[in-house]
Homo-oligomer: A and B are copies of this chain.
Amino acid sequence: MKACGIIVEYNPFHNGHAYHVKESKEKSKADCMIAVMSGHFLQRGEPAIIDKWHRTKAALQSGVDLVIELPYIFAVQHSDYFSKGAVLSLNALQVDSICFGSENGAITPFLEAYQNLNERLEDYESSLREGLDQGLSYPDAARLANETIGISVEAFDFAAPNNILGYSYVKQIKSYASAIEPLTIKRIESNYHDTHVSGRMASATSIRKELLANREVTEHASLALPQSTVDELNTYYNESKVWHDWESYFNLLHYKIMTTPTEELKHIHGMDEGLEYRLKQTIRSSTSFFDFMHRLKTKRYTWTRLQRLCTHLLTGLTKQQASLHLESEYIPYVRLLGMNQTGQAYLNRRKKDIETPIIAQPQQLTSTLLDAEERATAAYFSPLPPVQRIKHLKKEYGPPVRIH
């Protein structure tokens, strides 16, 4: 029984994702599609529009057989750590391949780029450090470092977010999971950063924008979504009275920054170079999360970096807690979010060979990774009215989603 891993956020699951699952399954000739999915907060430092359980259900109804959780500590990180967590998780489940979307659908440029990096790792790393020291953002410094070792923007477009991630996946597979075959398919979605829904293929960003602006699944948005996603979006809204965006957390963030002493803010993961003073100063006069970010942003402190920092502030992730796991080469557990019968069959078949503990509920294991998950979930559901909040918090300790 062959398995193919995919690395996803599904925020929310749309037609482009369905295409990715279908094409990846064909390309990999896998019997079982395993998605490692971010939980309640996403790579760019944003809350997911609906919770992980409803997103899992939508995925299982659209071709995914097994959904596991990318732990919070890895999920809200730049591409290298994000990929590391995802690849380690899929490797723990012994997938045969990992298939990701890319701009032109060929794996060779990724492998060549990695080969190149491997041969000139020292040059890459010293250039990266230099760029960061000069005040470049991480993406800019990484791009410059890549150019230094001969991977030019012309040969390999590092500006395309999917290429950055794809390259990162290949790098992590080669470093930590060499038994896995990296595969790629050509993306057919509209551009990642598109802000308007257009037709059946639209970016998750544009879909979220439309959903949040209208507080309902418009006909327009539903064009780009499988029916199961439409159902899950509606169900979650009815159950919880919210779809999540950063503005719903602004008062909590304000409270957190204002009532935490600077010397404690310093310990938050991502709080570098005295940013804590800048945060304290700026939040005082900010009228919204958007306003806050807008004032905070500079060339050096990118929007995404600052959003991640705000997420870690909200969930109280410290530097110490993060580095413990980010620098490790193994993952302490794999957590099941949901499965269908194929997913279950795969687990049954491989169970005896898998060394990493597979858990269905967080109370089955003690890990600082799970503590961080618990805090992230508590923070995520904070904007809900109390009765709905209690109900949703309980799910964190309940069984995974099962569909037949």
- Judged by a CB distance under 8 angstroms, whether A358 is at the interface is no
Q: Mark A376-392, 1 if CB is under 8 A from B, else 0.
A: 00110011001101100
In chain B, what residue has the closest Cβ to A254?
B382
- Pick from B260, B287, B389: contact of A254, CB under 8 Å: B389
Q: Is there an interface contact between B375 and A250, defined as CB atoms closer than 8 Å?
A: no
List of B residues within 8 angstroms of A107 by Cβ? none
List of B residues within 8 angstroms of A382 by Cβ? 251, 254-255, 258
- Judged by a CB distance under 8 angstroms, whether A284 is at the interface is yes
Q: Is there an interface contact between B255 and A390, defined as CB atoms closer than 8 Å?
A: no
List of B residues within 8 angstroms of A387 by Cβ? 287
In chain B, what residue has the closest Cβ to A255?
B382
Q: Is there an interface contact between B386 and A287, defined as CB atoms closer than 8 Å?
A: yes
List of B residues within 8 angstroms of A371 by Cβ? 261
* Given A287-B386, A386-B286, A375 contacting B252 (CB threshold 8 A): no
Q: Mark A258-280, 1 if CB is under 8 A from B, else 0.
A: 11110000000000000000000
Q: Is there an interface contact between B386 and A255, defined as CB atoms closer than 8 Å?
A: no
Q: Is there an interface contact between A390 and B259, defined as CB atoms closer than 8 Å?
A: no
- Judged by a CB distance under 8 angstroms, whether A85 is at the interface is no
* Given A254-B389, A284-B393, A287-B387, A379 contacting B259 (CB threshold 8 A): yes
In chain B, what residue has the closest Cβ to A374?
B258
Q: Is there an interface contact between A258 and B378, defined as CB atoms closer than 8 Å?
A: yes
Report Cα–Cα, A217/B255, bound state, in Å: 29
- Pick from B258, B286, B287, B390: contact of A287, CB under 8 Å: B390
List of B residues within 8 angstroms of A288 by Cβ? 386
Q: Is there an interface contact between A316 and B259, defined as CB atoms closer than 8 Å?
A: yes
Report Cα–Cα, A314/B260, bound state, in Å: 10
Interface of A is mostly: helix
Q: Is there an interface contact between B252 and A255, defined as CB atoms closer than 8 Å?
A: yes
For the complex, count residues of A whose C-beta is within 8 A of B: 28
Nearest Cβ on chain B to A180's Cβ, whole angstroms: 35
- Judged by a CB distance under 8 angstroms, whether A285 is at the interface is yes
- Judged by a CB distance under 8 angstroms, whether A315 is at the interface is yes
Report Cα–Cα, A259/B259, bound state, in Å: 14
List of B residues within 8 angstroms of A258 by Cβ? 375, 378-379, 382, 393
Q: Is there an interface contact between B259 and A375, defined as CB atoms closer than 8 Å?
A: yes
Report Cα–Cα, A315/B315, bound state, in Å: 17
Nearest Cβ on chain B to A304's Cβ, whole angstroms: 22
Report Cα–Cα, A259/B72, bound state, in Å: 14
Q: Is there an interface contact between B378 and A259, defined as CB atoms closer than 8 Å?
A: yes
List of B residues within 8 angstroms of A378 by Cβ? 255, 258-259
In chain B, what residue has the closest Cβ to A390?
B285
In chain B, what residue has the closest Cβ to A378?
B258
Report Cα–Cα, A371/B259, bound state, in Å: 9
In chain B, what residue has the closest Cβ to A289?
B386
Report Cα–Cα, A383/B252, bound state, in Å: 10
Q: Mark A315-329, 1 if CB is under 8 A from B, else 0.
A: 110000000000000
Within A233-268, the residues touching B (CB, 8 Å) are: 250-252, 254-255, 258-261
Report Cα–Cα, A314/B387, bound state, in Å: 21
List of B residues within 8 angstroms of A379 by Cβ? 255, 258-259
Q: List 22 A-B pairs, Cβ < 8 Å.
A: A250-B386, A251-B382, A251-B383, A252-B252, A252-B255, A254-B382, A254-B386, A255-B382, A258-B378, A258-B382, A258-B393, A259-B314, A259-B316, A259-B375, A260-B316, A261-B316, A261-B371, A261-B375, A284-B390, A287-B386, A287-B387, A288-B386
